[in-house]
Structure 1
């Protein structure tokens, strides 16, 4: 089939998560036509650990060329993880794209803590390693001053890929507002850190996430077979892509006071991020790794998160065995608990070392069961800390776990816990940006609470052990 014979006005979503890179081809009705993925490799060579942007670029162009034979591609939308930026000049990167899990020297952290804007203005907690993007930029400026001086634009990661595809430099609030220390979500403006460090001149003009920056560069159209009119959309931070379908185009949260408590959104993947659109900011606590993200509509959104995908793998193993309801019940009956944390990259229990207490686990299925119980308990804890009292929608990779949403639903009586049919949690949001104003096609299915014996009491015991 040639491009002219396939579906017209399809969208390609470039989805760069911390663990995997995906390209998804979606038709005009929102149905997936094709998907390809690769590991998101961090290179250890060079001046510091960095993302293999060259490998992603070549793989992306080759995959786009294959997709262009399936459908006529009308738009490409980049969606990426947060806490990542690219420093570019007219020719490309001036320094490799730093991996946010790299820990700069402790001396630099102490200095940076005196430079960053206060939490009350940014709602960006002080985080380990490079999870505060401002710390990455300050370290790069201090250690590589000559290279940093050549920088023309500081591009958030989605907009770096949009720039490579379109040649247009853009800024966008969802990545700027993702615990970077660079943005004030409540005021919708840059923080004092940006001015203090002299970075304001490097910040490109702000665009909406759904804005078209321009057509694909002619050389790329020729190489890939994309039509010359293929639009490059500005792009968005990944958990905000998941959130997008739960907002409306007027800028109001999906839940409002008249309709009852706001619906919370649980975006799951390497990170599990609980968001409460329309929620109050005054309950956020820096020491609990609570923050205000910024939605695509510019609104501050209270959030709390933990590295759930990473912690699940630490407990269940890299290739977890399937577990059944009987395995879950066994662990509850015997009183085996997993206590946080099993990743050292932030979260409400950052600084604690994870442990398993109680009778030992006899096999792989029990390890998966324990990981499932643990992630359900952590998610319930995060939702409670956030003040979520209404329904919950689960997005992302945990929708593939048949027990996760039912376990969570059993802990939140009076609320409906639903899962979406978009297991990536970002594909629908990316499609929406290319079709701004059209309703999303993905639907949510209510989960039936899993009536395990002693499950609420197990949660209460787990909370006691945490204290």
Structure 2
């Protein structure tokens, strides 16, 4: 934590709402971390359906902003959130709780299939539960017609938090283009579903992710001690925040954004190789570019395989698993991914201790990441962002699985935070370093990879 006497330090606060945790991060004008606070992000089971604890997050946010306002001159706030989530609001606030996308809407999938556009239009694969945002909305329109009809705005989740902070409603393409069925990435416009359902008037004007929507509301400034002119930035979908600083490369590298979801993205890649049944999709970057992506719920699967007890993964444990022929085969999360619907299983001798369990989880996520990158036709360079940068064996293992190609690792455990900072300082790059991962030498790894791939088939 910085010295409170340096209260004139100009800083940006990034509100990073992931599926598992909520963070508020304070960064100075060159992107150096000044402070970070976090809370769990657990859905609430009460009410008409499982929903996000927006009020709990809001009260925590106010308290944390008060703390940060005593540390620095907070010049801007940037919301960054997970996808597949939206809020229906009127002038007073939410007209319905914000659904948790892991909840199965009471609209049969077959009924929604009759409404939704084809994959060739949206590049949005048919996903379980509420991962296609359009299914959530179609269900709410049928199940809660009075409340739905009372809504003035349909806000993507980053823009909902921007609206709460400054009162300005906006739309933004990265959140709209994240397997929602609402966006046509080839044309960079709303999909036919929006017109079919009559939702055009609910969608506010589109703004750039980096646009300043306005200053914080006066009441918010008074309650938190924030400067009256603290800017509220439009905001962005989290994996697109991780992608942001890599878009200027020639060619740009593939980016592996890691967290609850592991998302492989190949800027400049071809869309015609995407396959709906493999959970391949086109996201839309902050610059309006269609980006081929593939993902799996790697963070949650890692936790399922590794167990809840903390501990280290050792290279010797990885070597024992490779030599013994112990394989983890997808999937362990039950939500999306190229092998959705398959029950996860372990073949071969079971891990004998916590170190081997963590080693097997690391092997699994690295193999799945390599699989996704190859399926997308990723080139020679890959950059690893996010929480798996803290696992010392993940990137070296991925590099060993991809011989002759470079795997870089950022020194920023949250690429989303870096991307959020960039939105408040558009045109500038933060001081974030990357190093090339040296391949982890394991005897028999190439044969192990071939055997794992054969088991998938």
Bucket of the pairwise TM-score, normalised by the shorter protein: over 0.9
Are positions 1:426 and 2:416 aligned together?
Answer: yes
Q: CA deviation at 1:422?
A: 1.1
> Is the 8 Å Cα contact of residues 30 and 430 (structure 2) preserved in structure 1?
no
Tell me the C-alpha RMSD between the 2 structures: 1.2
Question: What is the correspondence of 1:321-360 to structure 2 with a 5 Å cutoff?
Answer: 321-360=311-350
Structure 2 counterpart of 1:35: 36
2:138 equivalent in structure 1: 138
Q: Helix, strand or coil for the counterpart of 1:330? A: helix
Is the Cα contact below 8 Å between 1:313 and 1:320 reproduced in 2?
no
Shift of 1:7: 4.3
SS of 1:426 mapped into structure 2: helix
The answer on whether the counterparts of 1:3 and 1:68 sit within 8 Å (CA) in structure 2 is: no
- Which residue does the alignment assign to 2:10? 9
C-alpha separation in 1, matches of 2:3 and 2:223:
15
Q: How does 1:206-355 map to 2 (within 5 A)?
A: 206-248=206-248, 254-256=249-251, 262-355=252-345
CA contact (8 A) 1:7 1:27 kept: no
Aligned to 1:251: none
Q: Give the whole-Å Cα distance in 1 for the aligned partners of 2:263 and 2:309.
A: 23
Q: CA deviation at 1:3?
A: 7.3
Q: Is the 8 A contact 1:239 1:426 kept in 2?
A: yes
Q: CA deviation at 1:319?
A: 3.5
Distance in 2, matches of 1:227 and 1:361, equals 54
Within a 5 Å distance, the mapping from 1:106-117 to structure 2 comes to 108-117=108-117
**Per-residue CA shift, 1:266-312, capped at 9, x if unaligned?**
00000000000011101000000000000000000000000000100
Deviation at 1:6, TM superposition (A): 2.2
Other structure's SS at 1:43 match: coil
Instruction: Quote the Cα distance in structure 2 between the aligned partners of 1:168 and 1:130.
Output: 27
Give 2:385's match in structure 1, choosing from 389, 395, 398. Answer: 395
The number of residues matched between the two structures is: 456
Indicate if the aligned counterparts of 1:154 and 1:204 stay in contact, CA closer than 8 A.
Answer: yes
- Secondary structure of 1:356's aligned partner: strand
1:74 paired residue number: 75
1:413 CA drift (Å): 1.6
Contact 1:212 1:233 in 2 (8 A): yes
Counterpart in the other structure of 1:259: none
Structure 2 unaligned spans of 5+: none
Task: State the distance in 2 between where 1:4 and 1:88 align.
Answer: 40
* 1:66-109 deviation digits (Å, cap 9, x = unpaired): 0011100000000000000000000000000000000123x521
Q: Following the alignment from structure 1 to structure 2, what is the Cα–Cα distance between the partners of residues 266 and 438?
A: 22
Which among 414, 429, 439 is matched to residue 449 of structure 1? 439
| Residues 1:167 and 2:162 aligned together | no
8 Å CA contact 1:4–1:72 kept in 2: the answer is: no
Where does residue 89 of structure 2 map in the other structure? 88
| TM-score of the pair, normalised by structure 2 | 0.98
* Worse-matched range after superposition: 320-329 or 457-466: 320-329
Per-residue deviation, residues 5-61 of structure 1 (Å, max 9, x unmatched): 424320000000000000000001110000000000210011000001000000000
Q: Is contact 1:265–1:395 with CA below 8 Å preserved after alignment?
A: yes
Partner of 1:195: 195
Alignment of structure 1 residues 372-387 onto 2, 5 Å: 372-387=362-377
SS of the counterpart of 1:14?
A: strand
Post-superposition Cα deviations, 1:153-174, rounded to whole Å, max 9, x if no partner, equal 0000000000000000000000
Measure, in 1, the Cα distance between the counterparts of 2:312 and 2:65.
34
In 2, distance between residues paired with 1:184 and 1:441?
A: 35
